[in-house]
Amino acid sequence: MAKNNQEFVTQIASRSEDFPQWYTDVIKKTDMVDYSDVKGFMVIKPYGYGVWELMQSEMDARFKATGHKNAYFPLLIPESLLIKEAEHVEGFAPEVAWVTHGGSEELPERLCIRPTSETIICSMYSKWIQSYRDLPLLINQWANVVRWEKSTRPFLRTSEFLWQEGHTAHATFEDAQEETIRMLEVYREFSENVLAIPVVVGRKSEKEKFAGAYATYTMEAMMQDGKALQMGTSHNLSDHFARAYDITYLSKEGKLEYCYTTSWGTSTRMIGGIIMVHGDDRGLVLPPKAAPVQAVVLPIAMHKEGVREKAGELFDMLKKAGIRAELDDGDQSAGWKFNQWEMKGVPLRIEVGPKDIEKNQAVLVRRDNLEKLFVPMDGIAGTVEELLKDIHVGLYKKALAMRESKTVEASDFEEFSQGVKNGFVKAMWCGERECETSIKEKTGATTRCIPFEQRHITDKCVHCGKEAKHMVFFARAY
Ligand SMILES: [Zn+2]
């Protein structure tokens, strides 16, 4: 069954020739997902789900550290509940899936499969919140949602996806705003420190904001093809949902007041981001903190005396140190195994052969830069831990350099149109919806965010020439 290196690598399209095909090859050939019988619904296989579980546990710890508790709300939402917030229902109606029958009986009221849970959670909050003592109410839910999509791609856009949605209620607008920004910051820190993905953070335009929100904040990452991926959003819902769902509380002064609510979410979509930010022509490159296998131990020339035993010892040492290690003592050739684990993006490969045993060393190969290191067996777990940290930093820096090399400032529409073909464009914008629509029609680019870090480039809107309101990041997006 031995296959040589070249043969194996050619199973994956090259990124420069066909980026979309490369993406499809990678997710299929690394066993992350499979397609199901229902179009747009993906099966997340153990390797892909393993990445999600690690992301979940890292995020969950952050949510709890900021005072949130997990709960679970029903999958089905009565139509009467969904339609209470007018903008919200208008935004989501086109992609809602409906349940109309229970067994063979038609239901008196159709039920929607949650596309997001503001409506059902707010209806419960209106019962649970009575006085200022009940505030803030800080709840997160880990769940699946369904949004009926016309064209789908695994992880990036699927009709069902897994996510977390935080829903909080506060006494004042300021408290809600503080929460909205706090959670955006949690997301940013998670993206950078766990996924090694640098993000641009800021506010969404009115056109791009969440349906029913007062303001939406986002973190946007650049993929290697220069397109943006929205990695997570945090919404200040002001009192919009509180008024629609009657969430009130009795203040200290004994006055009945409306609450201010927020919601924030991230999803399995981020896995698509990991693939498209870090991957290379050999396949996946996983950031160590989101890698189900951080180090794979490969015995070389297994038939030679002592090799298996030594590899086993090494594997045990790594496990004991809390490193997610795997021992591959299968009967495939070493070359086949190298390719397999490289394709799966395992951060470190550790080889142990007869010569290494003689020298009391192991050979470590980094997945990020393919550097080969000869490391003494004594204290090797510590060396591996250090290298994993180093790989994280290296991946982050590489991704940041890639983003910077594909980001330009545009002061006229010609520069703008050229820039968005390649990556992000920073440009001044008037803030008007028609202008935004027209830019999209002409270039395919949308406003990604109005970044917190503003810079003055010109006085006039890059497209229509009206007075500019902000500097905005524009890009084509997934
Ligand atoms: Zn304009």
Q: Is residue 400 part of a domain?
A: no
Cα of 413 to ligand 1 centre, how many Å? 11
Same domain, 271 and 298: no
Q: Report pTM.
A: 0.95
Of the residues 224, 254, 278, the one at which a domain ends: 278
14 pLDDT exceeds 70? yes
Same domain, 11 and 66: yes
| pLDDT score at 7 | 52
Same domain, 269 and 298: no
Cα of 411 to ligand 1 centre, how many Å? 13
**What whole-number distance in Å separates Cα of residue 313 and Cα of residue 476?**
50
Same domain, 201 and 91: yes
Same domain, 246 and 305: no
Domain range for residue 360?
293-390
Cα of 428 to ligand 1 centre, how many Å? 8
**Cβ-proximal residues to 342 (8 Å cutoff; 6+ apart), any chain:** 282, 283, 349, 367
Cα of 77 to ligand 1 centre, how many Å? 40
Same domain, 378 and 433: no
Cα of 234 to ligand 1 centre, how many Å? 26
Cα of 433 to ligand 1 centre, how many Å? 8
Cα of 409 to ligand 1 centre, how many Å? 16
Cα of 463 to ligand 1 centre, how many Å? 5
Rounded average pLDDT over 452-458: 94
Q: Is residue 163 part of a domain?
A: yes
Same domain, 310 and 433: no
Note whether 138 and 129 are within 8 A (CB): no
5 pLDDT exceeds 70? no
Cα of 457 to ligand 1 centre, how many Å? 14
4 pLDDT exceeds 70? no
| pLDDT score at 86 | 84
Cα of 5 to ligand 1 centre, how many Å? 52
pLDDT in tens, 34-80: 999 999 999 999 999 999 999 999 999 999 999 999 999 999 999 99
Cα of 20 to ligand 1 centre, how many Å? 32
Q: Is residue 284 part of a domain?
A: no
Cα of 27 to ligand 1 centre, how many Å? 39
Cα of 263 to ligand 1 centre, how many Å? 30
CATH no. for residue 435? 3.30.110.30
**What whole-number distance in Å separates Cα of residue 271 and Cα of residue 135?**
34
Rounded average pLDDT over 78-106: 92
Same domain, 132 and 57: yes
| pLDDT score at 293 | 98
Note whether 457 and 209 are within 8 A (CB): no
Task: Give the rounded percent of residues in the chain with a pLDDT score beyond 90.
Answer: 94
Q: Is residue 224 part of a domain?
A: yes
pLDDT in tens, 290-334: 999 999 999 999 889 999 999 999 999 999 999 999 999 999 999
Same domain, 305 and 419: no
Supply the Cα-derived Rg of the chain in whole angstroms: 25
pLDDT in tens, 242-277: 999 999 999 999 999 999 999 999 999 999 999 999
- What are φ and ψ of residue 364, in 5° steps? -105, 130
Cα of 402 to ligand 1 centre, how many Å? 29
Burial pattern 399-415, b for ≥16 Cβ within 10 A else e, equals beebbeebbbbbeebee
2 pLDDT exceeds 50? no
**What whole-number distance in Å separates Cα of residue 216 and Cα of residue 233?**
7
| pLDDT score at 1 | 39
**What whole-number distance in Å separates Cα of residue 124 and Cα of residue 218?**
27
Cα of 470 to ligand 1 centre, how many Å? 10
Of the residues 278, 301, 331, the one at which a domain ends: 278
Q: Is residue 257 part of a domain?
A: yes
| pLDDT score at 327 | 98
Cα of 55 to ligand 1 centre, how many Å? 39
| pLDDT score at 59 | 98
Q: Is residue 60 part of a domain?
A: yes
| pLDDT score at 89 | 87
Of the residues 278, 306, 339, the one at which a domain ends: 278
| pLDDT score at 88 | 85
168 pLDDT exceeds 80? yes
3 pLDDT exceeds 80? no
Same domain, 193 and 305: no
Same domain, 332 and 303: yes
| pLDDT score at 9 | 54
| pLDDT score at 224 | 98
Cα of 434 to ligand 1 centre, how many Å? 8
Distance from CA of residue 448 to its chain's centroid? 16
Q: Is residue 1 part of a domain?
A: no
Q: Are strands 372-376 and 325-327 parallel, antiparallel or unpaired?
A: unpaired
CATH no. for residue 361? 3.40.50.800
Map residue 415 onto helix, strand or coil: helix
| pLDDT score at 11 | 81
Cα of 206 to ligand 1 centre, how many Å? 14
164 bridge partner residues:
142, 266
Same domain, 263 and 324: no
Q: Is residue 401 part of a domain?
A: no
Q: What is the mean pLDDT of the chain?
A: 95
- Domain tally for the chain? 3
10 pLDDT exceeds 90? no
